Amino acid sequence: MRPTILTPRKCAAQWLQYSNNAATLRHMPRTSPPTERVVATMALLAERPDDALSLAELSRRLGVSKSTGHAILASLAAAGWVLRDPTRKTYRLGPTMVALGRQAAESFPALDFARSALVELSSEFAATCAALGVGDDAVTVLDQVADPRAAAHAFRVGASFPLRPPLGAAVVAWASDAVRDDWLGHVPPDTRAHYADALAATHDRGYAVEISATSVARVRQLVGMLGDDTSARAALDRLADELAAHEEFLAVELDLDREYAVNVVNAPVFDHTGHVTLVLSLTGFDRALRGREVVAAGDALVTATARITDALTPSRTSRSRTSRS
Residue pLDDT, tens place only, 220-247: 544 554 444 445 555 555 555 555 445 4
The helix/strand/coil state of 1 is coil
Q: 126-162 pLDDT, tens per residue?
A: 999 999 999 888 898 989 999 999 998 757 787 888 8
Q: Which residue has better confidence, 217 or 53?
A: 53
Res. 27 pLDDT band, cuts 50 70 90: very low
Sequence-ordered alpha helix ranges (H) in the chain:
8-19, 22-26, 33-47, 55-62, 66-78, 96-106, 109-124, 169-172, 177-185, 189-205, 214-225, 232-244, 291-312
CA dihedral 111, 117, 118, 121 (to 10 degrees): -160
Q: How far is the C-alpha of 46 from the C-alpha of 42, rounded, in Å?
A: 6
pLDDT score recorded for residue 28: 43
Q: Which of 21-25, 94-98, 112-116 has the lowest mean pLDDT?
A: 21-25
Which helix (H) or strand (E) element contains residue 210? strand 208-211
Per-residue pLDDT, 150 = 93
Higher-pLDDT residue of 255 and 16 is 255
Residue 205: its pLDDT value, please?
97
Over residues 1-17, the mean pLDDT reads: 40
Identify which of 316, 308, 325 has the alpha carbon closest to the alpha carbon of residue 270: 308
Question: Given this model, what pLDDT does residue 303 score?
Answer: 97
Report which listed range, 49-63, 158-172, 292-306, is most confident. Answer: 292-306
Mind listing the pLDDT tens digit for each residue in 275-293? 999 999 999 999 999 999 9
Q: What is the pLDDT of residue 4?
A: 34
Is it the case that residue 253 has pLDDT exceeding 80?
Answer: yes
Q: Report the range of poorest mean pLDDT among 34-38, 268-272, 277-281.
A: 34-38
Torsion of CA 254, 259, 262, 266, to 10 degrees: 30
pLDDT band of 214, cuts 50, 70, 90: very low
Which of 26-30, 105-109, 192-196, 213-217 reaches the highest mean pLDDT?
Answer: 192-196
Average pLDDT (291-308) is: 97
Tell me which amino acid residue 43 is: A
Give the Cβ contact number of residue 22 at 10 Å: 20
- Confidence band (pLDDT; 50, 70, 90) for 9? very low
Stronger pLDDT, 193 or 159, i.e. the higher one: 193
What pLDDT is attached to residue 15? Answer: 40
Q: What is the pLDDT of residues 54-111, one digit of tens each?
A: 999 999 988 899 999 999 999 999 988 899 988 888 999 888 887 777 666 665 667 8
